[in-house]
Amino acid sequence: MAIDEMTAPAGDTGSARPIMKVENLSVVFPRPDASDITAVHDFSLSVTEGEFIGIMGEPGCGKSTAAMAMLGLVRPPGRIATGTVEFLGQDLGKLDEEELRAIRGKDIGMIVQNPRHSLHPMIRVGTQISNVYRAHNDVSKQEAWEHSIEMLRMVGINDPERRVKAYAHELSSGMAQRVLIAIALSSQPKLLIADEPTSGLDVTIQAQFLDEMWDNVQKTRSSVVLVTQDLGIVANYCDRVVIMHQGTIVEVAEVHDFFNSPQHEYSKAILGLQRRAQEKGVAIAKVDEKAPPLLRIEDLTMHFPIRASKSKVHAAEQVSFEIKPGECLGLVGESGSGKTTVGRCLLRLEEPTSGSINFHDVDLASVSREEFRKNRANMQIVFQDPLDSLNPRWTIKQVLEEPLKLHSDMDQEQRLDRIRELLKLVGLEESFVQALPKEISAGRQQRVSIARAIASNPDFIVLDEPTSALTPETTAEIIELLIDLSNKLGIAYLFISHDLTTVKFICHRVVVMYLGQIVEIGTKDQVFETPRHPYAKALLSAHLFPDVANRRVDREVRESLQGEIPSPITENLPKGCYLFGRCPSQVEKCRNMPQELTELEDGRLVRCWRVQEGELTD
Amino acid sequence: MIWRFVVRRVLIAILQLVGISLVVFFLIRLLPADPVARLVGFNATQVAYDQAEAALGLNKSVIQQLGDYLGIMSTAKYDGIAQGYLGDSWVTGSPISEEIGRFLPVTLELITYSLLIAFLIAVPVGITSAMRPDGVGAKITFFWGLFAGSQPEFWWGLMFVFFFFTWWWEQFGFFLAPAPLGRINPMLIEPAVITGFILVDSILSLNFEAFVDAAWHLMLPVFTLVFIVSGPIIKMIRQNMVRVLRSDFILYARSCGLPSRSVSLYALRAAMAPAMTLIGIFYGFLLGGAVPIEVIFALGGLGEYSIRSILSFDYPAIQGTVLIIAMVSLLVYLTIDILHAFLDPRITF
């Protein structure tokens, strides 16, 4: 069988044989009273043994549909219109339903996104694993049940004897994802198709999974087709990348070639921020180090009571930091680290339990609501979900007019002028004033949110994951806009994000949080180049930067943390260091010794006694 | 866990029943009606009228009447609800509970069989029409739902009587269905009343002749009800099935290579629960809402009894009927909720 010249992996040893060959696959969805929608058009791909392929594209580009269609499956009422799929020399289109079924789940494993919805809500996970195993292996119920426990143990689920009896809703999404992996691997498939298998997982857990998958491919010479939106995953794990745009493949390239010299316009757009940063360097203005701080928070603590319980959620514990005028401070950490809570406390969207917030020499935490409101014009917030944070019934004009009415005494004519000016500042055309939020794209919605935030001329904005709901190309545009605005208007940002890639581009200094505590504060270079706290190290190492020159799979040591972040309720919190139990550098003394945030000689702050004593070096 | 839930629900149900009896008690007495005149006739003497009024207890204050009815601080010689006694009918003089005991099983039998059969038909039909949205089954279902629901049930009942009894006999010379005159041929010996369900009783008393005849008599009324309620139930199951078949977990189950039989069972399990809720709602509704069918086929059910009581201003009978219907409805809802919990582990108490 001839290997497709164009799609053969570069530099392969020659022993590789194709596992799957897809040709001209098209999927259509019929619409009542309208022409059919072609979700996937002329999709061709060949997968060789031991290969790790990434399929990338924006949401709705047909990548997930294409992945399912490779198994001959389409979500109703869609159907496969044309195309052939050859698997190990067999034409899947010519097999009957029973023969196809025997291949699915046995020779081709599938991991889908949204793991909790992909498990049956009313059947125990053990039964579901058993059912799949029994569908492909001639074993008794009892044997299959024992096999499920074994599989759960293998994918790293604690206490598998108990979890095997759980239902999907009783699992965290991390655990549900592991269950899907257990199902997919239980019959040792030759090809694994994984559709955004790590969406919604924290970076440290994402790295654990992808590492396991990568090791598995290397060990068993199986292949992986990974559908993703994340440039970082592609850069760090894939051998080849397939770029889809509006249902069509626009580029297939070896991964280094793709990042170094993308061919198609759309590929260039996806790599936007990356490329622009490389070409001219994104220009962030210098901060005047000697200026007095604009904002200084001290010992900010936020505890949420739990109903009918004595314990509390420790969302933030004694958080202290400063922001200078015009500075962008990054606040990073996994979900549950308390970063969003800190942002909300600054604007008193949550009333902090204790601590002070000094802004323009006023302690915002203790002033009355009335007094606080006067300061609100100076500090604004932009939220994660652009559509949810705009009133769906208001036109863009109404959205932007509201802060002007509240915080200024402009007349109608002046307000209109200001709205035009704002739209121009955020790069939107004037014609959008009459549009409703849902009529414009997510990127433009986020621009409107930003315009609303700068309407009252604030000198400080909290950006709470402003790019997390956006596609890679839109993210790049929004980051550039934020940098522009800061340079032009001198606004300081608190940039809250779990996406270290964007933080790296926009921020001057970075705060790393874990379980409500700050574990490290330093300049961008200090934290990104030489992180000192073990958690910061692991977080940086687990984060997948879209950098093919330093792939995670090429590293000698892949730093990672054990287990998952505990939920920060009173009885879960460790007595000593909060990272105890997950830390790769822990010693017995850490168990009962609470850690202090202390300054090192290079000016950064770290909460780890071993680093402070000089016991941990790079 | 489940027992705590049941106990809590029963306690709430008791409160609800108390509330319902109070509301009914006062509402009836707001009616511009004179049950005494109704009983003794408009030409009765004042003495006879007063005597009758005193006998019914209507000469007492409303609060005293309520006390008599509830059996709490009662001034009457007879028991009240608190003692578990619903009172005597003003028309027949016999205890209400006895009368309801006679009429209620007839209605229960009619609607239980009807809903059971409707459910058994609706599940496979709903599933097939969901699996093959362009198939014949789906089209028939669509027209059935449209057609059956667009006419009142008494009209369908009359049509069926006309077609299967009158027209059939004229055309073919034999009866496909019996005359719509009760539950059993009056020439046969009725089985002894054990459960009140005539089919069950005739089997228990080994009277198979009565069993066959009773089944024959139940055929048309049950058929009429099934014809009417199946439409919405099928539609419900079909819609749930369509939704479930498009869900992530079905697509995933297929991608894992589960046999299609298992996949169907996965889908059915998820689609079943809401359909059961609908059955429960129908059950409660039909307790009083099957009257037209009961009347057309002269079955003598609870619906008929309640209409008769209302028209003769038989206050204790009305109060008793409402209370019993409410009790049965609450019981059915509770059963459905418990079944639901067994089907769906996401429901916690």
Asked if B228 and B153 count as a contact pair (C-beta separation under 8 A), the reply is: yes
Under an 8 A CB cutoff, do A120 and B249 touch? yes
Tell me if chain B has a CB within 8 Å of the CB of A97: yes
- In B, residues 129-188, which contact A (CB 8 Å cutoff)? 133
Residue of A75, A120, A131 with shortest CB distance to B270 = A120
* pLDDT confidence tier of residue A282, bands split at 50, 70 and 90: low
Omega of the bond prior to A352 within 30 degrees of 0, cis?
no
Alpha helices of B168-301 — where are they, by DSSP H?
168-172, 198-204, 208-245, 248-255, 260-289, 291-296
* pLDDT confidence tier of residue A15, bands split at 50, 70 and 90: low
Which pLDDT score is estimated for B223?
Answer: 93
* pLDDT confidence tier of residue B44, bands split at 50, 70 and 90: confident
Residues of B in contact with A183 (CB under 8 A): 256
Asked if A132 and A105 count as a contact pair (C-beta separation under 8 A), the reply is: yes
C-alpha–C-alpha distance, residues A372 and A365, integer Å: 9
- Between strands A605-606 and A598-599, the pairing is antiparallel
C-alpha–C-alpha distance, residues A89 and A85, integer Å: 9
Q: What is the pLDDT of residues A103-154, one digit of tens each?
A: 998 999 999 888 888 999 999 999 999 999 999 999 999 999 999 999 888 8
Q: What is the pLDDT of residues A456-468, one digit of tens each?
A: 999 999 999 998 8
Residues of A in contact with B252 (CB under 8 A): 110, 112, 118-119, 180
CATH architecture of B97-301+329-343: Orthogonal Bundle (1.10)
Under an 8 A CB cutoff, do B252 and A112 touch? yes
Q: Mean pLDDT across chain A, nearest whole number?
A: 87
Across A70-79, average pLDDT: 87
End-to-end CA distance of chain B: give it in Å, rounded: 7
Residues of A in contact with B264 (CB under 8 A): none
CB neighbourhood size of A366 (10 A): 12
Residue B144, CB half-sphere, CA atoms under 13 Å: how many? Answer: 21
Name the minimum distance, in Å, from the CA of A364 to any CA of chain B. 43
Average the pLDDT over each of A172-181, A326-335, A478-487 and give the range with the smallest value: A172-181
Which pLDDT score is estimated for A4?
Answer: 43
Under an 8 A CB cutoff, do A118 and B257 touch? no
Domains and CATH numbers, chain A: 292-378+491-618 (3.40.50.300)
Q: What is the pLDDT of residues A546-601, one digit of tens each?
A: 888 888 888 877 777 777 777 788 887 888 899 888 888 888 889 888 898 999 88
**pLDDT beyond 50 at A10:** no
Across A367-371, average pLDDT: 87
Residues of B in contact with A118 (CB under 8 A): 248-249, 251-252
Tell me if chain A has a CB within 8 Å of the CB of B259: yes
Provide the b/e sequence for B262-292 (b: ≥16 CB within 10 Å). Answer: bbbbbbbbbbbbebbebbbebbbebbbebbb
Q: Which residue has the tokens 């072609």?
A: A38
Under an 8 A CB cutoff, do B245 and A135 touch? no
Tokens of B200: 């069950």
Which pLDDT score is estimated for B1?
Answer: 64
Mapped onto helix, strand or coil, the DSSP state of residue A617 is: coil
Report which of residues A9 and A224 the model is more confident about.
Answer: A224
Provide the b/e sequence for A81-113 (b: ≥16 CB within 10 Å). Answer: bebebbbeeeebeeeeeeebbebbbbbbbbbbb
Query: Among A580, A599, A582, A602, which residue's Cα sits nearest to residue A591?
Result: A580
Which pLDDT score is estimated for A324?
Answer: 92
Across A361-388, average pLDDT: 88
Q: Which residue has the tokens 């010379």?
A: B173
* Test mutation, B238, B240, B248, B256, chain A, max A CBs within 10 A: B256
Residues of B in contact with A180 (CB under 8 A): 252
C-alpha–C-alpha distance, residues A396 and B231, integer Å: 47
Question: Measured over all CA atoms, what is the biggest interatomic distance in chain B, rounded to whole angstroms?
Answer: 87
Tokens of B280: 């429960």
CB neighbourhood size of B339 (10 A): 16
Which pLDDT score is estimated for B115?
Answer: 93
Query: Among B346, B345, B342, which residue's Cα sits nearest to residue B6?
Result: B342
Domain spans in chain B, listed from the N-terminal domain onward: 97-301+329-343
Under an 8 A CB cutoff, do A118 and B344 touch? no
- CA dihedral (B249, B251, B254, B255) in degrees, to 10, reads -100
Question: Any residues with CB less than 8 A from the CB of A132 and at least 6 apart, and which?
Answer: A105, A183, A186, A187, B256, B257, B258
Tell me if chain B has a CB within 8 Å of the CB of A79: no
**pLDDT beyond 60 at A372:** yes
**Amino acid at the residue B216:** W
C-alpha–C-alpha distance, residues B291 and B311, integer Å: 14
CA pseudo-torsion sign A485, A487, A491, A497: positive
- In A, residues 320-349, which contact B (CB 8 Å cutoff)? none
C-alpha–C-alpha distance, residues A4 and A1, integer Å: 9
* pLDDT confidence tier of residue A8, bands split at 50, 70 and 90: very low
Beta bridge partners of A52: A224
Q: What is the pLDDT of residues B184-231, one digit of tens each?
A: 888 888 888 888 888 888 888 888 888 999 999 999 999 999 998 888
Question: Any residues with CB less than 8 A from the CB of A255 and at least 6 apart, and which?
Answer: A54, A234, A235, A238, A239, A240, A241, A548
Question: Any residues with CB less than 8 A from the CB of A213 and at least 6 apart, and which?
Answer: A192, A194, A197, A224, A237
Across A504-533, average pLDDT: 92
Which pLDDT score is estimated for A233?
Answer: 92
Average the pLDDT over each of A335-339, B9-13, B242-246 and give the range with the smallest value: A335-339
Asked if A134 and A217 count as a contact pair (C-beta separation under 8 A), the reply is: no
Residue of A77, A101, A118 with shortest CB distance to B252 = A118
Residues of A in contact with B345 (CB under 8 A): 121-122, 167, 169
- Between strands A362-363 and A598-599, the pairing is unpaired
Tell me if chain A has a CB within 8 Å of the CB of B291: no
Under an 8 A CB cutoff, do A122 and B345 touch? yes
Question: Any residues with CB less than 8 A from the CB of A603 and at least 6 apart, and which?
Answer: A522, A523, A526
Mapped onto helix, strand or coil, the DSSP state of residue A27 is: strand
Beta bridge partners of A242: A55, A252
C-alpha–C-alpha distance, residues A545 and A21, integer Å: 31
Q: What is the pLDDT of residues B253-312, one digit of tens each?
A: 999 989 988 998 899 888 888 888 888 888 988 888 888 899 899 888 898 899 999 988
Under an 8 A CB cutoff, do B260 and A101 touch? yes
Residues of A in contact with B247 (CB under 8 A): 117
Across A213-236, average pLDDT: 89
CA distances A114 to A151, A170, A195, Å, are: 20, 15, 9
Under an 8 A CB cutoff, do A121 and B249 touch? yes
Residues of B in contact with A77 (CB under 8 A): 133
- CA dihedral (A364, A366, A371, A372) in degrees, to 10, reads 40
- Percentage of residues of chain A with pLDDT beyond 90: 43
Residues of B in contact with A106 (CB under 8 A): 257
Across B49-69, average pLDDT: 87
Size of interface A-B (CB pairs under 8 A): 80
Determine phi and psi for B180, rounding to 5 degrees. -75, 65
C-alpha–C-alpha distance, residues A74 and A278, integer Å: 41
C-alpha–C-alpha distance, residues A122 and A169, integer Å: 9
Residue of A102, A105, A120 with shortest CB distance to B255 = A105
C-alpha–C-alpha distance, residues A16 and A39, integer Å: 31
Tell me if chain B has a CB within 8 Å of the CB of A75: yes
Q: What is the pLDDT of residues A438-458, one digit of tens each?
A: 889 889 999 999 999 999 999
- CA dihedral (A419, A424, A430, A433) in degrees, to 10, reads -40
CB neighbourhood size of A139 (10 A): 14
Residue of A76, A114, A122 with shortest CB distance to B248 = A114
Across A29-47, average pLDDT: 88
* pLDDT confidence tier of residue A283, bands split at 50, 70 and 90: low
Comparing alpha-carbon positions, the chain B residue that sits nearest to A183 is B256
Tokens of A217: 């491919």
**Amino acid at the residue A557:** V
